[in-house]
Amino acid sequence: RQSIQIAPSVLAADFARLGEQVAEAEAAGAELIHIDVMDGRFVPNLSMGPVVVEALRRVTSLPLEAHLMILEPERYVSDFAAAGASCILVHPEATPNVHRALQLIREHGLKAGLVLNPGTPLTYFENLLPEIEQALLMTVNPGFGGQALIPSSLERLERLRALRNRLNPTCPIEVDGGVNTETALELVRRGADILVAGSAVFKGEVARNIQALRESYGA
């Protein structure tokens, strides 16, 4: 397998200097940028939309992935595609038609990603792994940065890795929530290929933080 990738989540960045912060992350070797989209309905919080993707598309060459924490995410697939997202991640808890949403994402020429909340059965991956290019496991309840990783996520991650190896061996597994220098090694051991990290990257000095995160899992 290729080496572990870091996806800084801009939710934890300083929004007054977002472009600069993303450029710092890119210069420090981050492999992709994670953009958390919240509607105040699927999750209690509000965050950002396609305009932020469009703005960041102009300041970085890294792939931009949109994590849609919104009801009926299929309504916004074409907007995020037009804004320059490279991957759109959708939750089955947010739509009665998640298969159709994934299909729509691929029709727009983007990578389709499926995300599950901590309380959602992994069965969704059993059914949908063959249809996706990225599998994201929430390791906190979505809605806010800076939460502690839910310990039972580790066992779910191992089960997801087994499913992935059987059903779609080239599909990377990503984890989101509570990733930091204390938890990264265990997550990598259990099967994470991509680490989303918000607070652990943007609180403090970005380059130093990314370096520390890599060192914590021996990269």
| Enzyme catalytic residues | 36, 176
145 is in an annotated binding site: yes
Site residues (CB under 5 A) for Zn ion, limited to 62-81: 67
Q: 103, 87, 55: which is closest to 174 by C-alpha?
A: 87
Q: Which amino acid is at 32?
A: L
Write the binding mask 51 to 70 for ligand DX5: x where contact by CB under 6 A, - elsewhere. Answer: ----------------x---
Considering the complex, what minimum distance in angstroms separates the CB of residue 177 from ligand DX5? 5
- Which tokens sit at 6? 């870091």
Site residues (CB under 6 A) for ligand DX5, limited to 168-187: 176-179
For 16-97, where are the alpha helices, taking DSSP H only?
A: 18-27, 50-57, 77-83
Considering the complex, what minimum distance in angstroms separates the CB of residue 15 from ligand DX5? 13
* φ, ψ for residue 11, nearest 5 deg: -55, -30
**Dist CA 50 CA 78 (whole Å):** 10
86 is in an annotated binding site: no
Question: Which residue(s) pair with 135 in the sheet?
Answer: 114, 173
Q: Is 134 in the site for ligand DX5 (CB under 6 A)?
A: no
**Beta carbons within 8 Å of 58's beta carbon, 6+ residues apart:** none
Q: Which is nearer to ligand DX5, 116 or 140 (CB)?
A: 140
Query: Which residue in the block uniquely carries the two structure tokens 């983007």?
Result: 110
**Dist CA 111 CA 133 (whole Å):** 6
Q: Is 8 in the site for ligand DX5 (CB under 6 A)?
A: no
Q: Which amino acid is at 114?
A: L
Q: Is 92 in the site for ligand DX5 (CB under 6 A)?
A: no
Strands (E), 26-164: 33-38, 64-69, 87-90, 111-116, 134-138
Considering the complex, what minimum distance in angstroms separates the CB of residue 21 from Zn ion? 16
Q: Is 39 in the site for ligand DX5 (CB under 6 A)?
A: no
Of 16-24, 91-99, 135-143, 182-190, the segment contacting ligand DX5 by CB under 6 A is: 135-143
Helix (H) or strand (E) holding 195: strand 194-197
Site residues (CB under 5 A) for Zn ion, limited to 31-60: 36
Q: Which is nearer to Zn ion, 67 or 111 (CB)?
A: 67
Q: Is 146 in the site for ligand DX5 (CB under 6 A)?
A: yes
Alpha carbon 98 to chain centroid distance?
17
Residues of this chain that interact with ligand DX5 (CB under 6 A) are: 9, 11-12, 34, 36, 67, 140, 142-147, 176-179, 196-200
Residues of this chain that interact with Zn ion (CB under 5 A) are: 36, 67, 176
Q: Which residues are annotated as a binding site for substrate?
A: 9, 67, 143-146, 176-178, 198-199
